[in-house]
Amino acid sequence: MLVCGLPKFAKMVAIMIATIITHPSCHLHKMPEGHPECPERLDVINNQLLASGIDGLLYHREAPAATDEQLLRVHSADYLQRIKSAVPTAIESLVNFSDEVYLSPNTLLAARHAAGAAILGVDMLMAGETDAVFCNVRPAGHHAEHSRAMGFCIFNNIAVAAAHALEAYQLERVAIVDFDVHHGNGTQNIFYNEPRVLFCSSFQHPFYPCTEIDNVPGNIVNVPLPASCRSDGFRAGINEFWLPALTRFKPQLIFISAGFDAHIDDDMSSMSLVEQDFVWVTKQLRDFVDQSQTSENSLEHCKGLISSLEGGYDLPALGRCAMMHIKALAKLD
């Protein structure tokens, strides 16, 4: 018997169940024919969850739409208005809004729900309903800057959710980690010099979007990796830079910009990571959260992990990587 989608016994013994958040509108955002950022990306993740047998062990929620107030915490009013004005109304219309960003009639609705998914994740974690969330949404977000759309991204989903955590719950420290193969320039732009946000990004370098990564403030931890990078180089960078920074910062929530386009099968990059690399980094973050709970100081406890889909364009590899990432978030392996 289910109670609000959760097994009754889980409610009784307060077992934490990982949560998948999505919305049907995320399928309705259209790109040009044959574009790699396609609705099928969401489907392959759902299919892998079903095929692996773990889908029934997860809590499923439908994302709300982010409000203007929530979006304006990280984006300018002028930018939001330009998006609203540019969305076409004619069925099947497509507008090239900016650098690899296209708008179709349902794009704004999809983008609001993509940002709203991570906001709901924050609310669920803060209410103690879950301690790990994966947002299976599109369009992605980490390239979207304060006043600029870039690289398939319209609203910076993770940044919107992080700002919600700071504003609505008065958290003092949140961390955002980004293992997409492209640098999270939008997240860096939004939280540059924001001491309450630690931003850690690993990425192929030099590569799109060619962000300025040197001489950044102390809350930004950039880990540039060569095009030839394999598992050992990726893991060494995380161990040397990310994990010590997280230990010093003691975040109360961790957000993950989860891009899987550094996989060896993905033509979007030249890096050669494999599924187990994404499992490994997820487990490092999962272990960090669990260990933080042992601190005698409750202000140093990390409530959990909120992950949102960014890149990943080889469909079979994306499905496998995302499923294994979710499995590690949920501690089901």
* 325 belongs to the catalytic site: no
- Alpha-carbon distance of 278 to 180, in angstroms, equals 10
Catalytic annotation, pick one of 75, 113, 142, 143: 143
Pairing of strands 101-103, 253-258: unpaired
- Cα distances (angstroms) measured from residue 162 to each of 15, 30, 134, 300, 304: 25, 27, 15, 17, 13
Q: Which residues are catalytic?
A: 143
